[in-house]
Amino acid sequence: MAVNRESIAKVVSGNGIRTGQQYLEGLRDDREVWTGGKRIADVTAEPGMGRGAETLALFLDKQHSAEFQDSVTYMADDNTRCAMAFKAPKSVEDIKARGAAYYEWAKWSNGMFGRTPDYKNASLMAFASAPDFLSQGVKGPGGAAMAQNMANFYDYVRTNDKVLTHTLVNPAINHAQAAAGKYSAKVALQVVKETDEGIIVNGARLLATLGPLADEIEVFPSTVLKGSDENIPFAFAFAIPIATPGLKLICRDTYDHGKSHFDAPLSSRYEEMDAVVIFENVFVPWERVFMYGQPELCNQAFNATNAVVHMAHQVACSKLAKSEFMVGLMCAIAKATGRDKDLYTKGLIAEVMQMTETVRALLFSSEAQAHPDQHGNFIPLRSPLDTSRNLFPKMYPRMVEILQLLGSSSLMATPTEADFSNDLAPDVEQYFQLANLESKDRVALYRLAHDVAVSGFGNRQALYERFFFGPPALMASAYFDIYSKDSLVDRVDSLLSSN
Ligand SMILES: Cc1cc2nc3c(=O)[nH]c(=O)nc-3n(C[C@H](O)[C@H](O)[C@H](O)COP(=O)(O)OP(=O)(O)OC[C@H]3O[C@@H](n4cnc5c(N)ncnc54)[C@H](O)[C@@H]3O)c2cc1C
């Protein structure tokens, strides 16, 4: 729903939630973003990038609309209206309210704008709620300062509605080295100097989704570092503005090729952009450092603060919205072709329905069994969310495959919007009709399916779902490790010992 920007600007002064216009203005700074061999002057005006920023601006505007405000924001104790993901949950109801807000945000793009700000905000809330954990970070000026730094950063992001990206993964020139929990000084991000004012870092990180369109970047620990002295320079967590001198973002090719919403319904709206991040002697002030020089502390961070649980909660809500959309799209195709009575077609779509209901059930289970955590908050039950985030990287590519199977050559029979108003119009009107759909509606439907299942945008979505939460093999291995299995083995032992 479009929201009047001018009226919003008058309403919001004093609020923690920003308007889309305020967000866009904030992106017009000195950030160093590169694409296609050139540095971008203004990301909001850049072809292939600006429309993604405009989409996020519209989403931020929705936080102000009467229709959504109560579900996606809350009034904080300091009387500031803030995005719901910042709310520290103190009850099962709070967990459900957070889940409802995540789901609402995701529905605005049907899950196709994956990196909405609530993802990072959920994690920031968890880190700020764990001062006892961060207080173990003793390096840098002032021992417990690290926890206070995090509390200050949380308040800054919360009350200014800043949009965050994050980058966790070091590039590896040798995967055996990386698998052994070590990093190469040639490429990995590391501390090269320490001063009274802060640290200076050099190197690169993979990958910052939304990086060019974010206000701040969290540079947090890559998850598995060997706790040896040689890894101390690679062990830290900090956050800095994207427009920090020496910080460079190198973008992948855009998937928004300037087409109309009719011709490219998703890529014309939801290009969120990914970028490799280069740090060339970047200065990070101490007040923005949250962990420092302690690999073992860094390794525990996402688990010990429960940030991973809150992030997985946001992810499950967003994947539910995305799965539902896939079911809707497939049913629309089946209906249009008259194949909604066909056994084979129904069987394929039923598979996607079952995947969707699996995500829904896991989410329900997790929220319904929310419980107090060690930091005074409530958290959703972790195991169903872990199950969901391990399953979805396999489910989504299968959903895409099923859409290809349903669409077949129709995914290629895609004249453009212009063909309905040029000399070709009579032909496309006649030859692209379906039993239950006029030609233009059929082309619109299959262009949407094309954008999901065939286009560069669609393929990047599948890659994103496979990898954004981490390497699937390592995630599965961690799942195995924390799975509650001893009592199950006991039952086997008990049977065998009764022989
Ligand atoms: C579209 C997209 C967006 C992303 N956005 C972000 C972001 O915003 N922020 C961020 O920090 N990261 C982001 N990532 C990076 C993501 O975290 C990594 O892709 C993921 O952690 C995998 O790491 P890698 O790409 O280095 O792959 P690799 O580690 O090189 O893995 C390649 C393959 O090898 C397998 N593998 C790796 N190690 C082992 C092992 N020890 N044993 C067996 N198999 C193994 C993996 O499962 C994978 O299949 C994004 C990735 C993609 C594709």
Q: Report the pLDDT value the prediction gives residue 18, as an integer from 0 to 100.
A: 96
464 Cβ closer than 6 Å to some ligand 1 atom: yes
469 Cβ closer than 6 Å to some ligand 1 atom: no
5-134 and 163-301: same fold? no
Q: Report the pLDDT value the prediction gives residue 228, as an integer from 0 to 100.
A: 79
Q: Report the pLDDT value the prediction gives residue 159, as an integer from 0 to 100.
A: 96
Give me the CATH topology for the region 305-497.
Answer: Butyryl-CoA Dehydrogenase, subunit A; domain 3 (1.20.140)
474 Cβ closer than 6 Å to some ligand 1 atom: yes
Residue closest via CA to ligand 1's atom 34 equals: 471
463 Cβ closer than 6 Å to some ligand 1 atom: yes
Contact between 101 and 72 under an 8 Å Cβ cutoff? The reply is: yes
168 Cβ closer than 6 Å to some ligand 1 atom: yes
Residue closest via CA to ligand 1's atom 53 equals: 464
2 CA distance to ligand 1 middle (Å) = 36
Q: Report the pLDDT value the prediction gives residue 120, as an integer from 0 to 100.
A: 98
Domain boundaries, the chain: 5-134, 163-301, 305-497
394 Cβ closer than 6 Å to some ligand 1 atom: no
Q: Which numbered atom of ligand 1 lies nearest the CA of 168?
A: 11
Q: Report the pLDDT value the prediction gives residue 465, as an integer from 0 to 100.
A: 98
Q: Which numbered atom of ligand 1 lies nearest the CA of 205?
A: 11
Q: List the chain pLDDT tens, one digit each, 499 residues.
A: 343 444 444 344 448 999 999 999 999 999 999 999 999 999 999 999 999 999 999 999 999 999 999 999 999 999 999 999 999 999 999 999 999 999 999 999 999 999 999 999 999 999 999 999 998 876 566 556 899 999 999 999 999 999 999 999 999 888 887 777 778 889 999 999 999 999 999 999 999 999 999 999 999 987 667 777 888 999 999 999 999 999 999 999 999 999 999 999 999 999 999 999 999 999 999 999 999 999 989 999 999 999 999 999 999 999 999 999 999 999 999 999 999 999 999 999 999 999 999 999 999 999 999 999 999 999 999 999 999 999 999 999 999 999 999 999 999 999 999 999 999 999 999 999 998 999 999 999 999 999 999 999 999 999 999 999 999 999 999 999 999 999 999 999 999 999 7
Query: In testing the pocket of ligand 1, which one of 220, 467, 475 has its CB within 8 Å of the most ligand atoms?
Result: 467
471 Cβ closer than 6 Å to some ligand 1 atom: yes
470 Cβ closer than 6 Å to some ligand 1 atom: yes
209 Cβ closer than 6 Å to some ligand 1 atom: yes
Q: Which numbered atom of ligand 1 lies nearest the CA of 175?
A: 30
Q: Which numbered atom of ligand 1 lies nearest the CA of 220?
A: 11
474 CA distance to ligand 1 middle (Å) = 9
72 CA distance to ligand 1 middle (Å) = 31
Q: What class, spelled out in words, does domain 5-134 have in CATH?
A: mainly alpha
> Domain 163-301 carries which CATH code?
2.40.110.10
Q: Which numbered atom of ligand 1 lies nearest the CA of 470?
A: 21
180 Cβ closer than 6 Å to some ligand 1 atom: no
Q: Which numbered atom of ligand 1 lies nearest the CA of 165?
A: 8
173 Cβ closer than 6 Å to some ligand 1 atom: no
222 CA distance to ligand 1 middle (Å) = 11
Say what the pTM is. 0.95
Q: Which numbered atom of ligand 1 lies nearest the CA of 169?
A: 11
